Amino acid sequence: MIGLIQRVQAAQVEIDGELVGKISQGIVLLLGVQKKDNEALSDKLLHKVINYRIFEDDDGKMNNSLLDIEGELLVVSQFTLPANTKKGLRPSFASAAPPELGQSMYDYFVAQAGHKLVKPVQTGEFGADMQVSLINDGPVTFWLEV
């Protein structure tokens, strides 16, 4: 399971011009599911996402997590993250999860996140053509793999 996290001041996702998810300060997580992924890996990634210390403390150092600041989380499915881009000029999606597994792992991740965070988890829609807008704070972006 792969997560690309971005520390944001604000973010939103729209589908066909309709707003479906919106957050203020927090994390946008682009979530990529691979064939080998399962609930244990999802739990491990969730732990990392919500506890990763990417928010500044009073001294301006990245010592606070999403949990520490009671920030918001926007989870967007991103099937292109598992792509192999090492050869040629066209990505290979051989390691990406099939849609059924991807949907199941995405739904599981969002549900588990909802149990751990103070504020409701915001999402896009699995498999949809989404337009994601964000104000990356820093910019701060990290690639997380489990």
Domain boundaries, the chain: 2-145
**Catalytic residue at 80?**
yes
pLDDT (0 to 100) of residue 99: 95
Phi, psi of 82 (to 5 degrees): -75, 0
Single-letter code of the amino acid located at 5 = I
**Catalytic residue at 79?**
yes
pLDDT (0 to 100) of residue 46: 98
Mean pLDDT score, 18-44 = 98
**Catalytic residue at 78?**
yes
Alpha helices in 1-146 (DSSP H): 39-51, 66-69, 99-116
Mean pLDDT score, 90-98 = 95
The catalytic position among 9, 80, 85, 131 is 80
Domain range 2-145, CATH class = alpha beta
Report the alpha-carbon distance of residue 98 to residue 132 in Å, rounded. Answer: 23
Report the alpha-carbon distance of residue 135 to residue 131 in Å, rounded. Answer: 14
Provide, rounded to the nearest whole percent, the portion of the chain with pLDDT above 90: 99
Mean pLDDT score, 66-94 = 96
* 47 confidence band (pLDDT: 50, 70, 90): very high
The catalytic position among 6, 12, 34, 78 is 78
Mean pLDDT score, 98-102 = 96
